[in-house]
A and B are shown apart, each in its own frame.
Chain A
Amino acid sequence: MAGRELTFRIMRYNPETPEVKPHLQDFKLFEEPGMTLFVVLNKIREEQDSSLRFDFVCRASICGSCGMLVNGRPTLACRTLTKDLPDVTTLLPLPVFKLLGDLSVDTGTWFREMSIRTESWVHDDSEFDPTKQEERMDNEEALKIYEAERCIECGCCIGGCATANIRPGFIGAAGINRVARFMVDPRDKRTEQEYFEVVGSEDGVFGCIGLMACDDNCPVGVPLRGQIAYVRRKMASAGWKMKVGR
């Protein structure tokens, strides 16, 4: 029994030939049981157009490589089943990030810059002592850190964010969530004021206009709405204290 014939309308752009403007190209193939966009795109590359560029690594919604706009919505391609798609599907690269070719965008560089800008590491000057037992931590606390740490840097929250699309320096929901991850970690010795330097601006939490597209788009379900509210509260109070202090 032959499956549905599916059409994929894919944005093509090759930086090698900048004179050819980005355009949409149609590819057709027959649906198979359990088919995902990972299967579809590889089939197209192997059978129809060997130059098609896209990124997959884990193909299991773990690594965050394959964010793209599927019929306008940012999501992970590897976990998109064709049975949930209409007969014609448009695939576009995620906006905001640098386009490397076709559906491939440079999320890696964006996230690295954001991480370095927000100094996303535990700030603690003490030396590790290999002879000592580990510091205790309440399991609930560990789970809270993990909740924020679950972000896979896929960029779906960024691609769909109104602010990020017009403000190149905006760290986006993923960036705000990243700061929250360290704020809740008792091992990070940064003060509220130090965090304020990092996120207390229009490029940080105050740039967010709160429409919460990000929360709906996060494929791993990081509670972005709550995280943004948490950081905003903390930073508003830090900002207020700093003003008073001055």
Chain B
Amino acid sequence: MGQYEMFVTDVLVIGAGLAGERAAIESARNGLNVTLLSLVPPRRSHSSAAQGGMQASLGNTAMGKGDSPDVHFMDTVKGSDWGCEQDVARIFADTAPIVMREMAHWGVPWNRVTLEKRVYDGKEIHEDPEKVGLISARNFGGTAKWRTCYTSDGTGHTVLYTMDSIVQKYGITVHDRVEALSLIHDGETCYGAIVRDLRTGQLRVYTAKSTVIATGGYGRLYGASTNAVINEGTGMSIAYDTGVVPLGNMEAVQFHPTGIVPSWILITEGARGDGGYLLDKNGYRFMPDYEPNKKELASRDVVSRRMIQHIRAGYGVDSPYGQHLWLDIRHLGAKHINTNLREIATICRQFNGIDPVHELIPVRPTQHYSMGGIRTNIDGQAYGLKNLWALGEAACWDLHGFNRLGGNSLAETVVAGKIIGEKIAEYTKDVSLKVSTSLVEDHLLIQQKRIEQLRERKGTENVYDLRNRMEHTLNTNVHVFRTEEHLLEAVHELQELNERAKYIKLRGEGKGADPELAFALRLPGMIRLALTIATGALARTESRGSHFREDYPKRDDENWLKRTLAYWREGAKGPELEYEPVKITESPPGDRGYGEATAGAKPLVKQ
């Protein structure tokens, strides 16, 4: 078996973004021994890149007046196109204001309400003098009220830095530059993980009473994604690889309307929330024609589709990177752009050489968020394996159904971290750790063998070629608009790639912490996720939220008001799909008030 390092802990949290750290804090406060693992130093986790803000119905601003958890709940359910778990949405909406205040108590410098004069959409906003100094909010898509709390242009950054400061305060153990490769389990219970040290390439064993997956999203499957390059979905894949833990709604993929062309860096929704317009090649503001009420601020799935629809109608701007549209924030003025939207200005200047105070920004819908993930119950317990938990973007707790509202994801990480963190702490106290050495060594051996095999270099396939094929397939066939023909093509291609991934040949020797080896270990799992997304999308013959089938353009509650559960059984060549009902506790399916159902699927352009 050879030498390996072994770590024993009460709670093992894989992932040190907002979700993982918040959950870890709760266990540490309850006197449990906690270890956090991360691919990168915790503060570099993708949560830090969220700039826009997080939703909570504090209702402190004039434009948020009358807001309440009920209104937030309803926006979330509508946004999800009735695909979410309503009991989850309820505790989420009720808890969000509390965690926002808790983060303020811990140190987040939230922007506060001021009496400074502001004009929005031609109207002057008058704040209530009684509310000055309380947590402020900005406008985000798909919401009835202004409720997105923020710190200028760096919400994720400040919330993560504050969260991590509390992790440091509690002295929680953090191991960075490590990657979980598999879960240790016997088909019934999870006992920890096999982990690779990315500094040296050595394997390690972590055993734990509770194992928590908080590894974020999989955006990089698409290549063209707003996500960080480490968002490769490995946390989902290691749960999926057990053969007994299902992934929920993997076909529900969010595309953000404004990825900047061609680096696909996100231009935050704050730009439109603060009053930015979308323009076409004629400089015409087209969104009011499609969405007279919400205009640029309909939910993301709707705006993304309207944009592609408008491009297809011949109004796109040509560029070497394909057609795009323009985002216009010039009218917001230099002062506003250079303070409240500073990060956007910086991105435009640095990556495109554009000054958004005077120039238009080229944008196109880009993969952004994964609503799907490891399916859990309302307490965060994964289906299928005892002592395994999941939360944050890696999980399908199912707050978002088929479309997540902007600002609801950061809020989810912290709310879920608190609620699920409490459950984990409570539960773990009663678990006694009994794990057999042979089980641990079996799982370790599987990973050792994979590595040895790759180092023998007997295969034929280049990892980067396979990855490029996978990205290309998803981007052309499993995007904003979907049809049976294209989805079938994607499924076939990905099935083939899944076979070919068994014969990877490293170009280098793969010694130690070699980056190519690390990627070769990850890629097969990524391809399995991609195939699962395509298979789920092909099976779902309706349109709901971000999943839009041109051949089935209507939502079909009679047949499809249900959640996809995908299993990858041991030795199988593809996913096995099952379905479960969606929990409706308060709001029966209805009309969202925006999108195709309301405004009709035909373009209404009157240029």
Contacts and interface: CB of A to CB of B under 8 A. Distances in A.
Interface of A: 14-16, 33-34, 36, 45-46, 49-53, 55-65, 79, 81, 100-101, 106-109, 111-112, 115-116, 119-122, 124, 128, 130, 132-139, 142-143, 145-146, 149-150, 152-153, 185, 187-188
Contacts of B265: 59-60
B367 to A, nearest CB: 15
29 contacts: A14-B511, A15-B200, A34-B262, A34-B263, A34-B352, A51-B516, A60-B347, A60-B351, A62-B48, A62-B49, A63-B44, A101-B513, A106-B177, A108-B177, A111-B43, A115-B165, A115-B168, A119-B169, A122-B162, A130-B102, A134-B100, A137-B104, A139-B136, A146-B151, A146-B158, A149-B154, A149-B158, A149-B161, A150-B157
Top 6 closest pairs, chain A to chain B, by CB: A108-B41, A136-B133, A121-B165, A50-B516, A145-B109, A16-B512
Contact of B151 (A49, A121, A142): A142
B44 A108 contact: yes
B566 interface: no
A34 B199 CA distance: 32
A50 B107 contact: no
A81 B263 CA distance: 12
A229 B543 CA distance: 59
A139 B114 contact: yes
B228 A58 contact: yes
B111 interface: yes
Nearest to A56: B229
A203 B448 CA distance: 44
B351 A79 contact: yes
A58 B265 CA distance: 9
Nearest to B226: A60
Contacts of B133: 136-139
A122 B133 CA distance: 19
Contacts of A124: 105
Contacts of B162: 122
A36 B48 contact: no
Contacts of B427: none
Nearest to B165: A121
B579 to A, nearest CB: 36
Interface string B47-63: 01101000000000000
A15 B40 CA distance: 19
A59 B263 contact: yes
Given A46-B464, A50-B515, A108-B44, A61 B112 contact: no
Interface in B259-318: 262-263, 265-266
Given A108-B40, A108-B176, A57 B514 contact: no
Contacts of B46: 57-58
Nearest to A45: B515
A69 to B, nearest CB: 19
Given A65-B40, A139-B136, A146-B151, A15 B512 contact: yes
B104 to A, nearest CB: 5
Interface of B: 40-41, 43-44, 46, 48-49, 51, 98, 100-102, 104-107, 109-114, 116, 132-136, 151-152, 154, 157-158, 161-162, 165-166, 168-169, 174, 176-177, 199-200, 228-230, 262-263, 265-266, 320, 343, 346-347, 350-353, 464, 506-509, 511-516
Contacts of A57: 40, 44, 46, 228-230
Contacts, number: 185
Contact of A139 (B40, B111, B352): B111
B112 A138 contact: yes
Nearest to B131: A136
Contacts of B114: 139
Nearest to B154: A150
Contact of B166 (A15, A121, A136, A138): A121
Given A16-B511, A62-B157, A142-B112, A128 B165 contact: no
A39 to B, nearest CB: 9
Contacts of B351: 34, 36, 60, 79, 81
Contacts of B166: 121
Contact of A187 (B107, B154, B177, B200): B107
B49 A60 contact: yes
B158 A153 contact: no
Contacts of B230: 57
B112 A59 contact: no
Nearest to B152: A146
Contacts of A188: 107
Contacts of A146: 109, 151-152, 154, 158
Contacts of A108: 40-41, 43-44, 176-177
Contact of B102 (A33, A34, A128): A128
B98 A143 contact: no
Contacts of B169: 119, 121
A138 B114 CA distance: 8
Task: Indicate the member of B98, B100, B101 with the most A CB atoms within 10 Å.
Answer: B101
A138 B111 CA distance: 9
Given A52-B515, A100-B199, A63 B165 contact: no
A124 B105 CA distance: 9
A56 B220 CA distance: 13
A134 B177 CA distance: 37
B105 A107 contact: no
B177 A137 contact: no
Contacts of A115: 165, 168
Contacts of B263: 34, 36, 59-60
Nearest to B114: A139
B303 to A, nearest CB: 21
A63 B168 contact: no
B65 to A, nearest CB: 16
Contacts of B40: 55, 57, 63, 65, 108
A49 B509 CA distance: 11
A14 B40 CA distance: 19
A50 B229 CA distance: 17
Nearest to B230: A57
Given A51-B514, A100-B199, A137-B133, A142 B346 contact: no
A64 B515 contact: no
Given A51-B514, A58-B46, A139-B114, 10 more contacts: A33-B320, A50-B516, A58-B229, A62-B51, A115-B168, A121-B107, A132-B101, A146-B109, A149-B109, A188-B107
A153 B43 CA distance: 9
A170 B136 CA distance: 38
Contact of A122 (B107, B177, B514): B107
A111 B41 contact: yes
A182 B41 CA distance: 22
A68 B50 CA distance: 24
Most buried by B among A14, A55, A107, A142: A142
Nearest to B101: A134
Nearest to A59: B229
A188 B515 CA distance: 42
B112 A58 contact: no
Contact of A45 (B262, B509, B511, B516): B516
A14 B514 CA distance: 10
Contacts of A46: 464
A79 B350 CA distance: 6
B17 to A, nearest CB: 11
Contacts of B229: 56-59
B22 to A, nearest CB: 13
A42 B349 CA distance: 23
A138 B135 CA distance: 10
B135 A134 contact: yes
B113 A139 contact: yes
